[in-house]
């Protein structure tokens, strides 16, 4: 079994119910999963519980993986999200105390790169898009060669090297903004040497046993953790900014249902049907004197997009009518996620935004699917909120992007 790759082992488990194959997968990846959990909780016992939960989730979801799933990267992300879920529980106060102690250590030993990087590493990783994150996990967590990284990502060695280097530069930028000025070489060395610690000897067997029963023998707290983590993971095809934006809403107890009636939408007054022929109409729709702070508060919430269109660019085709779209705003960030008719995520994007009156600028800081092509773009719009509807139109002539949305949650 040890000679089989992850996909082959997963197939053995799914198709033949091979407990040996699943146990091999657990043994292969348990250190990585445990290490992510340990960084989040700094508590070995809590990290063990999270590790068990992750492999139970793997067992439950294994039948739904595609043939090209990169299990190593998926397990890293599952471990991170499960750890985030765990820290939203009653241990939050204890974690704050531990973080305060860690900060004291950081202040006393600025020269220790790993001590500085470790508390921020998973947040920095979450800031990467999915492919970059896979590349970093494979290269520095699993110690794969550039050729192996490229093969896993469906790219050649040179492309993999460029992607890994770019991802490391993004990590460095994240750390620099938080006062850590290490070079990329130091960052890479620290991550490679310290990011994966050895899990307790019996944890692989315990986690595999719990997973193979789909969690039926797990403790009540572990089952609660699994349920919460699965809920978070349902939103996790996007990068961190999207996860955080949605997480803020979920933490407030908001449940979002993606429901859209085409008949209802057809009856809505749709800005996309307008041709903006006169400046006077533009001024009516988007008056110039708007209080920025008031507009921010009006935007906060979850919106269902009723209509979206890009005029003047026939190649821009990722807004089919049968897709469902949600747009989320906080006071500082935005996120969008698009679903197909079967509620599968088609693409997502997120980032911070700026307001000057009604002039609205989005920074596309992260994106999945087709939106990954637009990372770094800063489109400008005129935006207006009218009760439970918002109207948005590109402030630049080309391309002319228009959309209208309906509020479904404050």
Helices (H), 17-91: 19-41, 44-61, 71-87
Nearest in space to 348 (alpha carbons), one of 313, 375, 330, 320? 375
pLDDT band for position 232 (50/70/90)? low
Chain segment 343-372, per-residue pLDDT in tens: 677 788 888 888 888 888 888 888 887 887
User: What are the sequence ranges of the domains in the chain?
Assistant: 6-234, 262-409
Among 2.40.128.20, 3.55.50.30, 2.60.98.20, 3.60.15.10, what is the CATH number of 262-409? 2.40.128.20
Q: What is the per-residue pLDDT across 39-56, written as a single tens digit (0 to 9) for each?
A: 988 899 999 999 999 999
What distance in Å separates the CA atoms of residue 179 and residue 200, rounded to the nearest whole number? 34
Residues pairing with 402 in the sheet:
309, 393
Task: Give Cβ neighbours of residue 280 (< 8 Å, ≥ 6 apart).
Answer: none
What would the two tokens of residue 59 be? 């067992």
Higher pLDDT, 161 or 251: 161
Does the structure show a pLDDT above 80 at 185? yes
Mean pLDDT of the chain: 77
d(CA 137, CA 288): 48
Residue with tokens 């001590």: 115
| Mean predicted confidence (pLDDT) in 310-329 | 61
292, pLDDT greater than 50: yes
Reported pTM: 0.46
User: For residue 333, what are its two tokens?
Assistant: 């960030």
């Amino acid at each position: 079994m040890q000679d089989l790759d992850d996909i082959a082992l997963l197939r053995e488990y799914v198709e033949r119910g091979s407990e040996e194959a699943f146990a091999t997968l657990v043994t292969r990846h348990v250190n990585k999963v445990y290490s992510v959990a340990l960084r989040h909780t700094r508590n070995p016992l809590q990290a063990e519980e999270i590790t068990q939960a992750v492999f139970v989730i793997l067992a439950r979801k294994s039948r739904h993986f595609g043939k090209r799933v990169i299990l190593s990267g998926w397990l890293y992300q599952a471990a991170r999200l499960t750890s985030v879920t765990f820290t939203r529980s009653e241990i939050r106060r204890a974690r704050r105390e531990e973080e305060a102690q860690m900060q004291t250590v950081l202040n006393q030993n600025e020269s220790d790169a790993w001590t500085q990087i470790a508390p921020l590493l998973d947040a920095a990783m979450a800031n990467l898009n999915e492919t970059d994150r896979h590349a970093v996990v494979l290269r520095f967590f699993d110690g794969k060669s550039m050729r192996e990284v490229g093969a896993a990502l469906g790219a050649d060695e040179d492309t993999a090297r460029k992607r890994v280097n770019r991802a490391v530069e993004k990590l460095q930028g994240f750390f620099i903004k938080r006062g850590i000025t290490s070079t990329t070489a130091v960052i890479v060395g620290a991550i490679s040497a310290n990011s994966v610690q050895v899990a307790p000897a019996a944890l692989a067997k315990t986690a595999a046993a719990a997973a193979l029963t789909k969690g039926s023998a797990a403790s009540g707290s572990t089952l609660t953790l699994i349920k919460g983590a699965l809920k978070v993971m349902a939103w996790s095809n996007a990068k961190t900014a999207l996860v955080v934006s949605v997480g803020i809403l979920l933490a407030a107890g908001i449940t979002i249902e993606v429901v859209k009636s085409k008949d209802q939408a057809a009856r809505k007054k749709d800005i996309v049907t307008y041709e903006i022929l006169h400046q006077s109409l533009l001024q009516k729709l988007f008056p110039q004197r708007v209080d920025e702070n008031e507009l921010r508060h009006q935007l906060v919430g979850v919106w269902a997009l009723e209509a979206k269109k890009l005029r003047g660019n026939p190649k821009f085709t990722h807004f089919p009518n049968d897709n469902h779209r949600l747009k989320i705003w906080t006071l500082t960030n935005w996120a969008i996620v698009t679903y197909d008719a079967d509620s599968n995520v088609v693409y997502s994007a997120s980032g911070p935004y700026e307001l000057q009156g009604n002039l609205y600028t989005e920074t596309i800081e992260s994106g999945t699917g087709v939106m990954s092509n637009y990372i770094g773009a800063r489109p400008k719009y005129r935006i207006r909120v009218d009760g439970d509807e918002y109207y948005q139109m590109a402030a630049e002539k080309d391309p002319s992007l228009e959309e209208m949305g309906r509020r479904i949650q404050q």
